[in-house]
Amino acid sequence: MEQTQVLKTIDIPTGIVLLDRRLDGGIPQGSFVCVYADPIAMPEAFLYQFATVMKSYYFTTNRSPKFVKIDIQKLGLDAENVNFVDIYSQYYLNEYGQFIVEDKYRDKEIFDFVDDQLTKITEDSEEFNIVFDSLSFFLNLSVEWGMKDWLLNKLYTISKENGTVIYCYLVKNLHPVNVVSKVLDISDVVFDIEAERVGERIVCKFAVPKLRGKRPVSEYFRFYVEEGVQIDTSRDIA
C-alpha cells in the first residue's frame, strides 16, 4: 500500500515567547494571518513584535513610517530589520509633502503602487515577513470590490509561493459582515484581540481560534504591552 508522505512545515516565531512555546515554535511558514482586533487593545504591539523577529516589509497606511519606527523602539524592540513601505505618504501627500485635498484617481492608483511594491519584494531571495498595517485601509477605499479581492488573493498567493508569513490587521466593528467573513475565511491564522472593562480596569486579551496545520489557541489569555507583548503569567499558556 502506498504511504502518503507528510511534509514537515517550518515554523516562524511570533516573538511572543509563551505563545511560541504553546505553538511548538510559532506560525506555520506560508500562512496568511488576520490580526482581527479592537483598536483600543493596542494590536499594533503585536504587529511590531511580528515585524522585528526577522527581516520584514511593513506597509504603513495611517501614519508615517518614522512615527511607527519610534513607537517600535519605545517598546524596546529592534527595528533594524524592518523595511517600511510608505503607503501613507504615497496616498495622502503630494510631491511637496502637502496633504492632497481631492484626487479621484488616487484610490485606484494606490493599488497599482502596492502591486509594484509587492512585485519588488517577492524578488528578495532572503526569508521575510510582510505586515499590512492596516488591511482595513484598503478595504475602505472607493474602488470596486474586484480590486480589493485581487489584493486579498495576491497576498494569499505570495504567502504560499514564497513561504512567507503575511500579517494583516483588520479593524473590528468597521466593515460589513460579508467583508469580515471573506477575510476570515481566506485566512490560515486568525488572532482575535479585544479589550473589555472588568470593574475599574480595561483588560486586553487574545486568542488564536483559527490555525491551519496546528491546534488553535481557542481560550482567551490576558496580555499587557511592556517591551512588546507580554502574556499575563497568572494565566500562563505554556
- In our burial notation (b when 16+ CB lie closer than 10 A, e otherwise), range 197-208 reads eeeeeebbbbbb
Backbone angles phi, psi at 122, to 5 degrees: -70, -10
* Beta bridge mates, 191: 35
CA distances for 39 relative to 76, 145, 199, 215, 237, angstroms: 21, 24, 20, 27, 24
How many Å apart are CA 186 and CA 133, to the nearest integer? 18
Query: What share of the chain in percent tops pLDDT 90?
Result: 82
Return the sign of the alpha-carbon dihedral for residues 38, 40, 41, 47.
Answer: positive
pLDDT band at 236 (very low <50, low <70, confident <90, very high): very low
109's grid cell = 492608483
- 221 HSE (CA, 13 A, CB side): 22
Per-residue confidence (pLDDT) for residue 8, from 0 to 100 = 61
pLDDT band at 95 (very low <50, low <70, confident <90, very high): confident
Q: What's the mean per-residue pLDDT of the chain?
A: 92
Q: Per mean pLDDT, which range of 3-17, 40-54, 78-92, 193-207 is the poorest?
A: 3-17
Mind listing the pLDDT tens digit for each residue in 187-231? 999 999 999 988 888 999 999 999 999 999 989 999 999 989 999
Which residues are within 8 A (CB) of 42 and not within 5 positions of it... i.e. 6 or more apart? 204, 225
Q: Identify the structural domains of the chain with CATH numbers, from first to last.
A: 11-202+210-235 (3.40.50.300)
Mind listing the pLDDT tens digit for each residue in 120-153? 999 988 999 999 999 999 999 999 999 999 999 9
